[in-house]
Chains A and B, each alone.
Chain A
Amino acid sequence: MHRALPVLAVLAVLTAIWYLGAWRMNTPWALAQAERAGVELSAGELFTETMRQERPRLPAPHQVAAELWKTTGEMALRGRAFSKRSLIYHGAITLGATLTGFALGVALGILGAVAITYSRVAEMSLMPWAIVSQTIPIVALAPMIIVLSNAVGIEGRTVPKAIISAYLCYFPVLVGMVKGLNSPSASQLDLLKTYNASGRDSFFKLRLPASMPYLFTSLKVAIAAALVGTIVGELPTGAISGLGARILIGDQFGTPLAIWAALFAAAILAGVLVTVIGGVQALVLKRMGMAR
């Protein structure tokens, strides 16, 4: 409890600041409305007026929560969880592309790490480029990737989005796995040599198990990066489904509530994904006797 208390306190303060901001930012519009209607607003009325606008500059937290519930839980209760107006549907689209990209990126990262661990040429030629690749703003490439994959004849947007998220998430895995595969000490490697273990054995019985803590730490970073990649992939490209597309559409139609609800849905999705990986990590490391 003594660890949750400070977090809750800070969250409460942030929420209060948010309400304050909503009140300040929505005041001009509320005043203009009142003037047009020819009514005088007391301070209290003005405050409630700023909390329930349909298109506020900054929606109040409870409005966002209500919108979020309206587009998820309420629709699910009415049995329309996968209607196109429901954030569950859009979240599922985003989740699909994220997981595809995550799988692709993790596979690439692990393969790259194995190549770098075992081949000096690969290390010398690939590692600098892997680092450079992360300093390039991938979003600049996002529209191009979609054009290219359309030209090659790939239907739909899942693949290009997955490529972008794979690009963002392979790097932490690569770096973590290179560290992990090289983590066995010289004496451990020597011991395997005295057992006359083959390269394959020393990989599967020593290096790979030893790299697991590193792998999971990287996976947590990677899944968050993959989600960012998918949403970035949905933002600029005129996609019509997915959480990023909801943000885009909310912007075009001037419905801030939809944007904020989609943002929070994305945040919740990120939290769930990281928590799931953390859970798997705890389980696997415990089974392997590596839990700290």
Chain B
Amino acid sequence: MTAVVAAVAFWLAAWGLNVALARSRWRKARAVRIAVPVIFGLAVLALWQGLVRGLEVSPVILPAPTDIARTFVTSTDVLWQDFVQTVLKGALSGYLIGCGVAFVTAIAIDRSAFLTAGLLPIGNFVAALPIVGIAPILVSWFGFDWQSKAAVVVVMVFFPVLVNVVQGLKETEAMQRDLMRTYAASYWQTMVKLRLPAAMPFVFNGLKIATTLALIGAIVAEYFGSPIRGMGFRISTGVGRLAIDLVWAEIAVAALVGTAFYGIVAMIEKLVTFWHPSQRVG
């Protein structure tokens, strides 16, 4: 019982600290903006630890964060193998192919107003569909290894990226395009120097949405058959044989990878679209 009390006390203290920080005159400082969510996260972990230990929850149901951390450290080789299989081979290759194809398709149909008008509503609709359901079909077409996972990812990221690129290419104003005309700029010059840069905020919006979809696709596809490695494989079999701490370690990896993937794309976005109002500091 003391563990529960201690955890709740820690939680309250952390929340109090956050309240104090948020009201202090340093609240605009970068360090504080980072510290507050970190403290909140630690408090949640402490609460989890305290409740699991204090209420003696069986590790088969919910292991404590320290147990998960121990498993994480002792089974890095398994986790690394799964990471390579699912993230590098399945998700990343599918992501690159899917986004690349979507980008090229968007530029290819850009010259035809008819095709754009036809594809945009369809793309918007398809982007909202539960496309993950296609996973078993693609697994039966492309086999159990990472190729089928990459195929699922390609299909999943294609439409959100396509829709965003097409939308982004519409972003320039008539005035700006007229200016390019007065410079006697060709179609491709206008494309490269005006329309693509103007489309970048939209493109990156699509790319960021696609990062999460890529991981979802790669993991779900493994539930339908995979070689004996991969995060989805480990999770589905781990639940079956009650290796719950390993499952949570995989979930931790998935969370870290998802956040890092998104973070990297967001960082590239910052470098590319530094001129856009949404990137202004202050």
B239 within 8 A of A: yes
- Beyond A124-B18, A129-B40, A140-B250, whether A248 also contacts B216 by CB under 8 A is no
Interface of A, secondary structure class, is helix
Note all chain A residues with C-beta closer than 8 A to B254: 136-137, 140
Whole-angstrom CA separation of A243 from B259 in the bound complex:
30
Q: Count A-B pairs with CB separation below 8 Å.
A: 157
A224 within 8 A of B: yes
B140 and A236 form a contact (CB under 8 A): no
B207 within 8 A of A: no
How far is the CB of A74 from the nearest CB of chain B, in Å? Answer: 23
A236 and B220 form a contact (CB under 8 A): yes
Could you tell me how many residues of chain B have their Cβ less than 8 Å away from some Cβ of chain A?
A: 62
A141 within 8 A of B: yes
- Beyond A138-B216, A140-B231, A231-B132, whether A125 also contacts B117 by CB under 8 A is no
Interface string of A140-161 (1 = CB under 8 A from B): 1101100110010000000000
- Cross-chain contact of A247 among B115, B133, B261 (Cβ < 8 A): B133
- The A-contacting residues of B in range 221-248, CB under 8 angstroms, are 223-224, 231-232, 235-236, 239, 244, 247-248
- The B-contacting residues of A in range 115-146, CB under 8 angstroms, are 120-121, 124-129, 132, 134-141, 143-144
B262 and A144 form a contact (CB under 8 A): no
B251 within 8 A of A: yes
The stretch of A45-53, A179-187, A200-208, A258-266 in contact with B is A258-266
- Beyond A125-B40, A224-B128, A232-B220, whether A266 also contacts B247 by CB under 8 A is no
How far is the CB of A115 from the nearest CB of chain B, in Å? Answer: 13
- The B-contacting residues of A in range 242-288, CB under 8 angstroms, are 243-244, 247-248, 250-251, 256, 259-260, 262-263, 266-267, 270-271, 274
B40 and A126 form a contact (CB under 8 A): yes
- Beyond A121-B22, A232-B220, whether A135 also contacts B259 by CB under 8 A is yes
B122 and A10 form a contact (CB under 8 A): yes
The 8 closest A-B pairs by CB, nearest first: A6-B118, A10-B118, A251-B136, A125-B40, A224-B128, A236-B223, A128-B37, A135-B262
Additional A-B contacts beyond A11-B118, A124-B36 (8; CB < 8 A) = A124-B37, A135-B262, A137-B215, A228-B130, A236-B232, A236-B236, A243-B133, A267-B130
Q: What would be 29 A-B contacts, judged by CB atoms less than 8 Å apart? A: A11-B118, A120-B22, A121-B18, A121-B22, A125-B18, A125-B40, A128-B37, A132-B255, A135-B261, A136-B254, A136-B259, A137-B216, A139-B132, A139-B216, A140-B231, A140-B235, A140-B254, A143-B235, A143-B236, A144-B244, A148-B62, A228-B130, A235-B220, A247-B136, A250-B136, A251-B140, A256-B137, A260-B137, A262-B133
